[in-house]
Amino acid sequence: MNILVTGGAGYIGSHVVEELQKSGFTPIVYDNFSTGHEEAVPEDVQLIEGDIHDVRFAKHIMEQFKIDAVIHFAASSLVGESMANPSKYYFNNVEGSLHLLEAMRGAGVDRIVFSSTAAVYGEPEQVPITEDSKLQPTNVYGRSKLMIEKMLADYDMAYDMRYVALRYFNAAGASPTRDIGEDHNPESHLIPLILKTAQGVRKQVAIFGTDYPTEDGTCIRDYIHVCDLAKAHVLALQHLLKGGASRVYNLGSENGFSVRQMIDSAKKITAVDFTVVEEARRAGDPAVLIASSERIRSELGWVPEHSSVDEVISTAWKWHKGHPQGYNG
């Protein structure tokens, strides 16, 4: 079956492309390369340079390749940038997704797996966070993703377009089998910043806030290996292709680790005693985010297999060591 993967040259998208191939699907990558990397797409995968805003072209590609379903990653995804430049997020994420849905409708494609985020919950009222928790995003990025979820629900109601929205917690790690990994510019995520410090590309890593109401005073997050995320996309796709109903699922390991714990593990795994400094809190960071992934475990049989902190950090370390400048070197 032919699956159009928008943003398939990005970090999570490229890992999902690998999992799709392993599971017998034919991925077709659709990416405008604004942040994606051509090198992240395997040579035997059809790569289309295109924009989700281009409804006619996207529809044409869906018809030409007889697309059975779409997995939609293409989006802007930096929380800080979304607050400084909301226009970009409403345009790329909300309007871009609307255009993609219109292209799908035009081409008669009626199944979509959507890349959502834990940022739709904002500051949680309780942890672990279930899918029924209050949706009150505290940043524009999270709001843009929530708006798309609502759009998907309306398209389902009116046009029978079935969707699965996957709310990721902290995606991390890299493929153990293919030479792909995380390469954002600018980089803002904790694990790549830690590892770039360990390899000497950066001088130091900062802990943002040491006065949170947690055991060691630093923020706790739920780190989920990108290969476990990838597996969940294939399960979601299979669910939809079997005629399953639209669903929303959290994707997390259900374990929380503090910033200090991540730094300590990275020091152990890399065997480098890199420089760590303490800084003030970063605006908008909730103290603790831990998922309940019970729903997808019980409904789709998803089991995270690679999300121990050791495996997350060691696979990411392998990628960073081989690519000190990301895909550019």
H/E element, 139: none
**Residue 93 per-residue DSSP state:** I
Query: Which of residues 71, 234, 259, 290 is near ligand UFG by CB under 6 A?
Result: 259
- Our separate counts of H helices and E strands in the chain read 11, 13
- Within 203-222, which residues bind ligand UFG (CB under 6 A)? 205-208, 219, 221
The reply to whether 73 sits near ligand UFG by the rule CB under 6 A is no
The reply to whether 170 sits near ligand UFG by the rule CB under 6 A is yes
**Between 67 and 92, whose beta carbon lies closer to ligand UFG?**
92
Binding mask 1-40 for ligand UFG (x = CB under 6 A): ----------------------------------------
CB of 308 to ligand UFG, least distance (A): 18
Which tokens sit at 307?
Answer: 């999300």
Give me the active site residues, please: 141
d(CA 324, CA 195): 10
CB of 46 to ligand UFG, least distance (A): 28
**Between 100 and 289, whose beta carbon lies closer to ligand UFG?**
289
3-state SS of the chain: helix, strand, coil percent to 5? Answer: 40, 20, 40
Is the N-terminal amide bond of 286 cis, ω within 30° of 0? no
| Binding segment (CB under 6 A) for ligand UFG, from list 66-74, 86-94, 188-196, 237-245 | 188-196
Whether 191 and 171 have beta carbons less than 8 Å apart is answered as no
Residue 66's region, left for phi above 0, alpha for psi from -120 to 50, else beta, is left
CB of 176 to ligand UFG, least distance (A): 21
Angle at alpha carbon of residue 21, lines to 16 and 25, rounded to 5°:
100
Binding site for ligand UFG (CB under 6 A): 77, 79, 117-119, 141-142, 170, 188-190, 193, 205-208, 219, 221, 259, 282, 285, 289
